[in-house]
Amino acid sequence: MATHKTDKADKQITVIVIGAGNRGTVYSNYAVDFPERLKVVGVADPRKFRRTLIQKNHNIPDDKVFEDWEDVVKQDKFADAVIIATPDRCHREPAIQCADKGYHILLEKPMDVTAAGCKAIVEAVKRNNVLLGVGHVLHYFPPAMTIKRLIDEGAIGEVINIQHLEPVGWGHFAHSFVRGNWHREDDSCFVLLAKCGHDIDLIHWWMGKHKCLKVSSFGSLAHFNKEHKPEGAASRCLDCSVESKCAYSAKQMYLDGPFGVRMGNEGWPVTAVVDNPNVETVTEALRTGPYGKCVYDTDNDVCDNQVVNFSFSEGRTATLSMVAFTEKLCTRSVKVFGTKGEIQCLNFNEVTLFDFVTRKTSKYPFISGAHGTRMTGHGGADFYIMDAFVKAVARNDPSFLCTAANTLESHLLTFAAEKSRLEGKIISMETDTL
Ligand SMILES: NC(=O)c1ccc[n+]([C@@H]2O[C@H](COP(=O)([O-])OP(=O)(O)OC[C@H]3O[C@@H](n4cnc5c(N)ncnc54)[C@H](O)[C@@H]3O)[C@@H](O)[C@H]2O)c1
């Protein structure tokens, strides 16, 4: 299936999957497409169904299948690297202890839900001289890399301002941030960290040598609350008399609509609803579980819209908008304004460059996809991050990865933005404590 050419010089590396849910499974698929480059030799997950799927797909012996990440670090080191794809609040300890065991690490984002945790992970990585890749998949995505290359080549002169939009998608937001795993900050983390870590990483990366000095942010949970519950609506969509007129109907999302099981979908988002999706299991889950609840009648508390302003050195600025209510699903749009030209990339596809001197537009097309692999998530970015990580480990070459220091810096900007929103003040990156 895979058509991406392999580099014969690279040795096969081995990896243990810690957290065999959605993301752990996606990343481990690289080994199915490129068995000569990656072998999955262990798995840990408390959910039997999920760990057994990975075990079967990768032919893992029983003695390397575990119920908890702690069981992995109790063993002598038995792989080159670990993929840590556990829930947000379970990243810090596995990352530190795996680094202390000498494993290279691909850690899902966010690194941790606190600034102190992120710093502790980076210290552990440095202390043990292991490689760290963090799941900011867009950093490795060709359109984002093209923008970075054009900026670094001086194609638009000096970057003065960046405008960035993260359109989360109305259905996606309801699924993940109203009903799903990221609907409460105390269960996972605030939405900017959960959803816009990618975007703040990109803004920080594209700004290059310019240091972010100040951050301010506003945002709220404007719509998905009891105040907006339609008259006559029930607390579950399957019992609701006005469900057919509701944009967020769970019946439409998981049973009858384009991504529903009745339409033959057995993948995301129904795999998040139940382990083994079919009409009966999904219907039962909608009757009893969180994914069947009215979006206006649950216990969600994360913002559905948020804006962030960044002030960089030498008077440069950037803005980020995160909005739930969009047709597009996470296909970011960005404009980078420079002294000699402007870069645009709409829906994270083709990059265009308008040159103020020649008054000509150049196009840098991107054929979305993932080199024919099955790792098509995030427009193919899932493939590119995994490819970079595997190469970094095989060649022991950190230059394939965003540096731990840069990743930490962008996490700190995210914490600063949320602090600004909560405290209603501008945060100084130099004097405020995060
Ligand atoms: N890079 C991205 O764009 C992106 C996208 C979605 C999610 N994520 C992040 O990836 C992580 C995983 O998300 P997901 O969607 O795969 O969630 P998921 O719930 O599908 O998977 C998490 C898995 O971790 C397992 N787990 C829980 N405790 C464990 C433990 N002690 N030891 C081992 N495994 C344990 C769970 O049983 C579950 O199977 C989260 O941090 C999430 O924020 C990143």
pLDDT higher than 80, residue 367 = no
What is the predicted pLDDT for the residue at 4? 46
Give distance in angstroms: CA of 322 to centre of ligand 1. Answer: 22
Give distance in angstroms: CA of 349 to centre of ligand 1. Answer: 27
Residue closest by Cα to atom 43 of ligand 1: 88
What is the predicted pLDDT for the residue at 400? 97
CB 178 within 8 A of CB 171: no
CB 361 within 8 A of CB 352: yes
The rounded distance, in Å, linking the Cα atoms of 222 and 302 is: 10
Q: Each residue of 48-79: pLDDT tens digit?
A: 999 999 999 999 999 999 999 999 999 999 99
Give distance in angstroms: CA of 429 to centre of ligand 1. Answer: 30
- The class of domain 138-224+301-373+403-428 in CATH terms is alpha beta
Mean pLDDT of the chain: 96
Kindly provide the b/e burial profile for residues 293-308, where b requires at least 16 CB atoms within 10 angstroms of the residue's own CB: bbbbbbebbbbbbbeb
The mean per-residue pLDDT over the stretch 283-301 comes to: 98
Residue closest by Cα to atom 25 of ligand 1: 19
pLDDT higher than 50, residue 3 = no
Give yes or no for residue 120 CB within 6 A of ligand 1: no
Q: Where does 13-130 sit in CATH, by number?
A: 3.40.50.720
Q: pLDDT over 90 for what percent of the chain?
A: 92
What sign for the dihedral angle of Cα 225, 198, 271, 326?
positive
Q: Return the domain boundaries, the chain.
A: 13-130, 138-224+301-373+403-428, 236-292
The mean per-residue pLDDT over the stretch 70-90 comes to: 98
Atom of ligand 1 nearest to the CA of 51: 39
Give yes or no for residue 45 CB within 6 A of ligand 1: yes
The SS3 of residue 418 is helix
The rounded distance, in Å, linking the Cα atoms of 351 and 347 is: 10
Kindly provide the b/e burial profile for residues 223-243, where b requires at least 16 CB atoms within 10 angstroms of the residue's own CB: bbbeeebeeebeebbeebeeb
The mean per-residue pLDDT over the stretch 78-94 comes to: 98
pLDDT higher than 90, residue 205 = yes
Confidence of residue 9 (pLDDT cuts 50, 70, 90): low
Give yes or no for residue 51 CB within 6 A of ligand 1: no
Instruction: Work out the number of other CB atoms within 10 angstroms of the CB of residue 397.
Output: 11
pLDDT higher than 80, residue 185 = yes
Give distance in angstroms: CA of 218 to centre of ligand 1. Answer: 28
Q: Each residue of 215-232: pLDDT tens digit?
A: 999 999 999 999 999 999
What is the predicted pLDDT for the residue at 8? 60
The mean per-residue pLDDT over the stretch 105-134 comes to: 98
Ligand 1 pocket mutation pick from 28, 43, 45 by most atoms within 8 angstroms of CB: 45
Give yes or no for residue 48 CB within 6 A of ligand 1: no
Residue closest by Cα to atom 15 of ligand 1: 22
Atom of ligand 1 nearest to the CA of 47: 37
Give yes or no for residue 382 CB within 6 A of ligand 1: no
Least-confidence region, from 48-57, 82-91, 173-182, 366-375: 366-375
What is the predicted pLDDT for the residue at 257? 94
The rounded distance, in Å, linking the Cα atoms of 277 and 284 is: 10
Q: What is the pTM of this model?
A: 0.96
What is the predicted pLDDT for the residue at 7? 62
pLDDT higher than 50, residue 362 = yes
Confidence of residue 345 (pLDDT cuts 50, 70, 90): very high
Give distance in angstroms: CA of 91 to centre of ligand 1. Answer: 9
What is the predicted pLDDT for the residue at 233? 97
